Structure 1
Amino acid sequence: MKIVPLLALTALLAGCATVPDQPRFDHSLTARAQSDRVKYVILHYTVSDLPRSINTLAHGSTVSAHYLLTDTNPPFFYTLVDESRQSNHAGYSNWKIYNQLNAASIGIEIVNPGFKETPQGRVYAPFQPAQIDQLILLLKDIVKRHNIPMGNILGHNDIAPQRKQDPGPAFPWKRLADAGLIPWPEPSRVAARMAGYQEQLPEVIWFQRKLAEIGYAVPQTGELDQATRNVISVFQTKYRPALFDGTPDAETAAQLDVLTAPVPALPSAPAAPPEEN
């Protein structure tokens, strides 16, 4: 009479022995409908020296970055957060259809004091050429690995124009353009459009629409309010850093026009006449 319970217990123990202690995976399939987490690269300055930058970004509990570019000689990068993980560098931010760009970007902090206030006004600290050399090397590597579009390397002020200024007007965006990393308004095309805009400046809503077309979060009210001035100033900081007061002028209009207009196609060469026999 004790045989049946014994058989049941044996079966139960045998079943328990086959339960795996780890989930089972088959890696033979890969979904086509997927994309890279990284869509953007956001550039910052630290507004502090290297020791304080390390303390804030590596040991602090609120902000971080994937990379910290030092101001040493020679400069180098600290890798603080793996690119597969999110770092807290962008904060409240917007660009095109994205907001809260922490989740979709790589953040690079550059050791730079930012600016100081003087009797003559605010003075921005230059970036070391060797820092930019290193930055360009890293950006080219990131662009290649993550297939980053040319227009998706941005400053913190681009994605948060109402509250951020970094990397500031001293940052040499033109060097990144010359390296093929960001778009740039071709000077001859800008000059060709400036004359017309000097005669007739577009309405404020035109500037707002053009800035939004590029990617900026800007009011679409037709009013030159402070929020719109802030966005215009950020745009000028990048493309016309000699004057970035937020005033919509002819040069800013021409640059916006060129950046949002397709590059004209080169005329095709005429067909060669047939050779005579």
Structure 2
Amino acid sequence: MMCRGLKAGACAALLLLLAGCQSTSQSAVNSPFRLETTHQAQGADQRIRFLVIHYTAEDFHNALTTLTDEHVSAHYLIPAKPPLEQGKPVAWQLVPEEMRAWHAGASGWRGRTNLNDTSVGIELENKGYSKHLLGKKFYPFPPAQIDLLANLSKEIVARYQIEPRNVVAHSDIAPQRKDDPGPLFPWQEMAQRGIGAWPDAGIVQARLAGRDPQQPVDQAQLLALLKQYGYTVTDDMTQAQQRRVIAAFQMHFRQSDYRGNADAQTQAIVQALLQQFPDKND
């Protein structure tokens, strides 16, 4: 017998290997053509270029139902309180990374549109916001949830060599209709852990050049800088739409004030980011 003299485990491994070879061989024999694969093109790269962070705006069980139906999906869903299995926190993978998930919708970033085709989407269980007389009240993210997100995101960023500028909020890529993950999401902490971009305080101060942070600046010039960084800015935008773009940037990088005002501090921050993370061929 083929396995005579081999231990049971080694025999099983050998049989599996031979079965795989036989299956491949039979597939090649039965195919009406043959593929020559010894010459691989250098002009190729990863399909995935972006990592998009969302919040669910509903509880975990409802979000799981929503994200597993036929209308919307995400690659990952992380509970507010991740359960532990053998001491490890658990995230839900709903779509394999190599497949497209329907999480971004109408979107744009750095000249690309329809980011579902080129991104991984992660949903965080979070209530989002509630409306009050003074505006929207956003809800924070528990430390255990952010720790799990950071560990998962770090692997994704490394796997696809995602640039810091391409780790984005849903509100960054769809500022006219989305607020998630909101101004309480810890972007600075994520950047400190190697995920995404964050402005260097010293460079921001240098760019501010002694101006009052609230000093108004030319809105068109600010929007041109935001477009250079990645945001979708068009000539036919209304004033309200322009302010939405500025507010989306501020929710990400100046979370203490995201009213959408074109001011000196916002300008200094985007200038710092463009200096720290220069554009690359995308």
Fold shared, TM-score > 0.5 on shorter chain: yes
1:67 aligned to 68, 71, 76, which one?
A: 76
Which amino acid in 1 is paired with 2:234?
P
The 5 A counterparts of 1:188-267 are: 188-198=202-212, 201-220=216-235, 225-261=239-275
- d(CA) in 1 for partners of 2:229, 2:97: 26
Count of residues paired in the alignment: 243
Which amino acid in 1 is paired with 2:52?
I
User: If the length of structure 1 is used for normalisation, what is the TM-score?
Assistant: 0.81
Deviations 1:9-67 (A, max 9, x none): xxxxxxxxxxx643433443322221111010111000000110010001x11100011
Which runs of no fewer than 5 residues in structure 1 stay unpaired? Answer: 1-19, 264-277
Partner of 1:163: 177
Partner of 2:280: none
- d(CA) in 2 for partners of 1:154, 1:148: 11
Partner of 2:23: none
Shift of 1:83: 0.7
> Between the two proteins, what is the percent identity of the paired residues?
38
Three-state SS of the structure 2 residue aligned to 1:68 is strand
Shift of 1:118: 2.9
Q: Which runs of 4+ in 1 moved over 2 A?
A: 20-31, 72-76, 118-121, 191-202
Partner of 1:57: 67
Which runs of no fewer than 5 residues in structure 2 stay unpaired? Answer: 1-28, 84-88, 278-282
User: If the length of structure 2 is used for normalisation, what is the TM-score?
Assistant: 0.80
- d(CA) in 2 for partners of 1:149, 1:239: 17
2:38 aligned to 4, 9, 28, which one?
A: 28
- d(CA) in 2 for partners of 1:105, 1:26: 30
Q: Is the 8 A contact 2:74 2:101 kept in 1?
A: yes
The root-mean-square deviation of aligned C-alpha atoms, in Å, is: 2.2
Q: Is the 8 A contact 2:77 2:123 kept in 1?
A: yes
- d(CA) in 1 for partners of 2:160, 2:248: 26
- d(CA) in 1 for partners of 2:206, 2:40: 50
Question: Based on CA coordinates, which of the two structures has the bigger radius of gyration?
Answer: 1
- d(CA) in 2 for partners of 1:84, 1:210: 33
2:140 aligned to 126, 135, 139, which one?
A: 126
- d(CA) in 1 for partners of 2:43, 2:107: 26
